[in-house]
Amino acid sequence: MIITNKEERVTIALSGRLDTITAPELTEAVKDLTFQELTLDLTDLEYISSAGLRALLVCKKTADSQKAPFTAANPAPAVLEVMRMSGFDKVLDIRMD
């Protein structure tokens, strides 16, 4: 996980797996941030589990509480498929660059 903060526009780049092991790290990191915009760069994320999906919801709720837009950007095809099957494409702003 790589976190960049440019003028309170935070981007978190994830890679590998977002699962029971790694999801708590993401949720804790996001809870400690202050931002005007939050983007998760999912380009290099290969796998997402239900725990990972819950972490995405925590990110969205944290952004909502700060009245900041939240975007899940560039999910790999396998990750996007899981997000679609679980209905997350209807709940989250998913951007493909």
**Superfamily (CATH) of domain 2-95:** STAS domain (3.30.750.24)
For residue range 37-47, what is the model confidence (pLDDT) as tens digits?
A: 999 999 999 99
Residue 9 has pLDDT above 90, yes or no: yes
Q: Could you give phi then psi for residue 41, rounded to 5 degrees?
A: -90, 110
Average pLDDT, the chain: 95
Residue 97 has pLDDT above 90, yes or no: no
Distance CA 44, CA 66 (A): 27
What is the mean pLDDT of the segment spanning 12-30? 96
What is the mean pLDDT of the segment spanning 66-73? 97
Residue that has been written with the tokens 């679609």 in this structure:
84
Residue 26's pLDDT is what? 97
